Amino acid sequence: MKFLFVYDGVIAEAAEVAEILAEYGIEPHEYTPVVNALRKKPQAWLDFMMKFELGLEKPDPRRALHSALTIAVAYVLGGAVPLLPYVFFPRAREALVASVVVTLLALLIFGYAKGRFTDNKPFRSAFQTALIGAIASAAAFGLAKAIHP
């Protein structure tokens, strides 16, 4: 049995919160006052929706620098993977082939690791990651060739 809550003209969001609370075994007569009380407090309503509907947590501002550094290092290391062959191969064509091979290998490894850490099928995740990376890099290469033939 679904209850509809009319408060500030938003029915759908209240129904979603009611469904979330019902999943925890809370009865409609118990969650109706809770939903209505949350709707009267916009910040509490937003926090509840972010956490329980979207699964998002409010970021800790003290971790901003750590997060920024982690992202920066990841970009530098990730960007270095396809560029390293150009350091070791004197001819651009050889470096390009090596770059493609090294990048695909890295994408397969990262995709496999992603699959293991997210409890998905690791080999499928590896293939998907490599395929998406290959399509993206082929598109970028094609655009570069189209602009500067």
The confidence score (pLDDT) of residue 11 equals 63
The confidence score (pLDDT) of residue 91 equals 94
pTM comes to 0.56
How much of the chain, in percent, has pLDDT values that exceed 70? 91
Q: Flag residues of the chain having pLDDT under 70.
A: 1-11, 55-56
Angstrom CA distances, 40 to 1, 28, 29, 66, 121, stand at 24, 18, 18, 36, 44
